Amino acid sequence: MSIVVTGATGHLGRLVVEKLLETVPAEQITAVVRDEAKAADLAARGVRLAVADYNAPATFDGVLAAGDKVLLISGNEFDKGRPGQHQVVIDAAKAAGVALLAYTSAPGALTAALADDHRATEKALLASGLPWVLLRNGWYHENYTENLAPVLEHDAVLAAAGDGRVSSASRADYAAAAAAVLTGEGHENATYELGGDEAWSFAEYAAELSRQTGRTIAYNAVSVEALAGILAGAGVPGPLAAILAGVDASIEKGELVVSSGDLSRLTGRPTTPLSEAIAVALKG
């Protein structure tokens, strides 16, 4: 039996593997990667590597085995039909007879187009007959804190979210929750709505940036259409720019406020405050 993590060299996947290594022998962890070289450090620590690609179903032959617990991390190739990519892993898991297949989805309240692929994957997973877990991850702090350069250049936070609030948490928080599910018991056929303990508004985000930088950083609220145009002008592909701007529209409607407390319960600790994530980003 192995604990298998797909997308293991991605931002979230690598953190999940690191968290697992705190309690699970390395030889019981399989990291599924597309580029073996990017996981050389994990292999050096004894983690088993499996080279496979969501876009090539045959590469998953023999990767999964009966009794495995598997974390399917959603793909990030928005233009390649993510539900079909995810189906490759679901089919391989069913053929192998895995003990559990957990999937990183999106909040249940999210109606933005970003959620469409996740809903399709959830439907396929539930139809598979496999024991499943839905990890409905909310927004990540890093979605904002890793892109502070334009904010600091213009002393402005730009969003189309109005006064909407976001229950974001750090990637490490979500990784810890996934590791808890993969190593724990009693999670079969459970849905977890995951988000930070404290929701915040973009005005509050700008105020915290101002406090930590000693500068006056404003929140400039724009329309969804304007934001999509700005993102496209900055080089984001048009369809993806529209998807991202659509998330802001969902934020304004309150769809990224998560009040379940599931994330802190699974990890056994409070979630990381946004202020801490900002401090880390500013030091970097």
184: closest CA among 99, 246, 63, 269? 99
Angstrom distance (rounded) from CA 253 to CA 83: 26
Count of residues in the chain? 284
Taking only the tens of pLDDT, the chain with its 284 residues reads 899 999 999 999 999 999 999 999 999 999 999 999 999 999 999 999 999 999 999 999 999 999 999 999 998 877 668 999 999 999 999 999 999 999 999 999 999 999 999 999 999 999 999 999 999 999 999 999 998 999 999 999 999 999 999 999 999 999 999 999 999 999 999 999 999 999 999 999 999 999 999 999 999 999 999 999 999 998 999 888 999 999 999 999 999 999 999 999 999 999 999 999 999 999 98
Task: Name the pairing type of β-strands 3-5 and 48-51.
Answer: unpaired
| DSSP, res 85 | H
Angstrom distance (rounded) from CA 90 to CA 96: 10
pLDDT given at position 81: 85
273: closest CA among 284, 264, 265? 264
Angstrom distance (rounded) from CA 219 to CA 203: 5
* DSSP-based three-state secondary structure for 159: strand
pLDDT, tens digit, 9 for 90 and up, residues 39-98: 999 999 999 999 999 999 999 999 999 999 999 999 887 766 899 999 999 999 999 999
pLDDT given at position 76: 80
Angstrom distance (rounded) from CA 167 to CA 243: 19
Angstrom distance (rounded) from CA 71 to CA 252: 31
Angstrom distance (rounded) from CA 89 to CA 113: 23
Q: What angle do CA 25, 27, 29 make, to 5 degrees?
A: 80
Residue 252 dihedral angles phi and psi, to the nearest 5° = -60, -30
CATH 3.40.50.720 fits 3-138+170-194+259-271, yes or no: yes
pTM, full prediction: 0.96
Q: For the beta carbon of residue 273, count every other beta carbon within 10 angstroms.
A: 17
Positive/negative CA dihedral, 197, 203, 205, 210: negative
Per the listing, tokens 């968290």 go with 19
Domain ranges in the chain are 3-138+170-194+259-271
